[in-house]
């Protein structure tokens, strides 16, 4: 049989923030491609339920409840997954949050929380995973960036800064880890109807702007992100590293 380079057969994929929204869709997509999936989130019940839901679909899945902003907890869980399940081949740094306020009144505590959750966490989680990957000279990391890695928008300055930083963390890690056999890429979603965008989904003015601003003229469906993650995680992308794949209906390539 001719090998399928997109096949993730048996590889272990840890997807942070995968108990709902984009992360859940990525975990499902990786699972459909054959990966054994570790579902993460802070909410224990929701994370266990998301893992059970994948298992019902025939995907080998387990829950790992930890806060990605807690480096100690992340390292402990990652060591446990490696010991109990096997080598983590694929890490998707997806957990993220957003907070909106004009810069004049943006609370500093919220600034720190956004930077910790969206940017610092990718370092906290990647570091222990990379320590395991380096001796094996094998692994793929996918960071969930954003169109806001590239574009500015009012009232979300910390979010934009965090996602711009994550794009450059991706490139820095790719440069450092290329010689060690580990690839690091990003996917950059446009706009998707998740809890993170709850306020925007309800706002007809925003939806009007979005459909005009996006060449494909609509919101994305979270399932439309999975192919990009599967590709970047798989051997089909064996010579691809340091790249950001925009899945945004053309938003960042048009004015």
Binding mask 117-136 for ligand NDP (x = CB under 6 A): xx------------------
How many CB atoms within 10 Å of residue 172?
12
| Residue whose C-alpha is closest to residue 184's, from 249, 231, 139 | 139
Give the closest residue to 87 by CA, choosing from 23, 137, 142. 137
- Nearest residue (CB) to ligand NDP, 115 versus 134: 115
Indicate whether 189 belongs to the interface with ligand NDP (CB under 6 A).
yes
- Nearer to ligand NDP (CB atom), residue 154 or residue 179: 154
- Sole binder of ligand NDP in the list 29, 31, 34, 41 (CB under 6 A): 41
Window 203-242: residues binding ligand NDP (CB under 6 A) = none
Report the residue from 51, 59, 62, 69 that binds ligand NDP according to the rule CB under 6 A.
69
Query: Interacting stretch for ligand NDP, rule CB under 6 A, among 101-109, 187-195, 204-212, 235-243?
Result: 187-195
Is 20 a binding residue for ligand NDP by CB under 6 A? The answer is: yes
> Which position among 73, 85, 97, 101 is part of the footprint of ligand NDP (CB under 6 A)?
97
Query: Is 70:46 a contact under the CB 8 Å cutoff?
Result: no
Both tokens of 206, joined, read 């925003």
Q: Using the rule CB under 6 A, is 46 a contact of ligand NDP?
A: yes
Q: Which residues, in sequence order, are CB contacts of 240 under 8 Å at separation 6+?
A: 183, 185, 232
Name the residue nearer to ligand NDP (CB basis): 20 or 167: 20
Could you tell me which residues are beta bridge partners of residue 160? none
Sole binder of ligand NDP in the list 23, 139, 158, 249 (CB under 6 A): 23
CA distance 134 to 121: 20
Q: Tell me what percent of the chain is helix, strand and coil, each rounded to the nearest 5.
A: 50, 15, 35
**CA separation for the pair 236, 229 (Å, rounded):** 11
**Residue 99 vs 194, nearer CB to ligand NDP:** 194
Which C-beta is closer to ligand NDP: that of 19 or that of 135?
A: 19
Residues 6+ apart with CB under 8 A from 135: none
By CB under 6 A, tell whether 149 contacts ligand NDP.
Answer: no
Contact, 132 vs 158, CB < 8 A? no
The tokens for 78 are 């990652």
Site residues (vs ligand NDP, CB under 6 A): 16-23, 40-43, 46, 67-69, 94-97, 117-118, 144, 146, 189, 191-192, 194-197
């Amino acid at each position: 049989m001719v090998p399928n380079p997109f096949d993730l057969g048996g590889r272990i994929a840890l997807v942070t923030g995968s108990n709902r929204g984009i992360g859940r869709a990525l975990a499902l997509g990786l699972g459909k491609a054959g990966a054994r999936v570790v579902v993460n989130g802070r909410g224990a019940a929701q994370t266990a339920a998301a893992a059970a839901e994948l298992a019902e679909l025939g995907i080998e899945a387990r829950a790992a409840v930890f806060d990605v902003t807690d480096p100690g907890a992340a390292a402990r869980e990652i060591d446990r997954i490696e010991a109990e399940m096997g080598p983590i081949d694929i890490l998707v740094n997806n957990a993220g949050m957003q907070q909106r306020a004009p810069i004049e009144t943006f609370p500093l505590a919220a600034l720190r929380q956004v930077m910790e959750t969206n940017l610092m966490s990718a370092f906290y989680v990647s570091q222990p995973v990379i320590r395991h990957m380096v001796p094996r000279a094998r692994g793929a990391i996918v960071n969930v960036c954003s169109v806001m890695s590239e574009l500015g928008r009012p009232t979300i300055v910390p979010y934009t800064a965090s996602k711009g930083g994550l794009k450059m963390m991706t490139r820095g890690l790719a440069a450092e880890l290329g010689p060690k056999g580990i690839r690091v890429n990003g996917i950059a979603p446009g706009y998707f109807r998740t809890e993170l965008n709850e306020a925007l989904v309800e706002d007809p003015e925003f939806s009007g702007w979005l459909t005009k601003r996006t060449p494909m003229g609509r919101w994305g469906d979270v399932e439309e992100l999975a192919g990009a993650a599967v590709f970047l995680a798989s051997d089909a992308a064996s010579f691809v590293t340091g790249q950001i794949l925009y899945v945004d209906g053309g938003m960042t390539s048009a004015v």
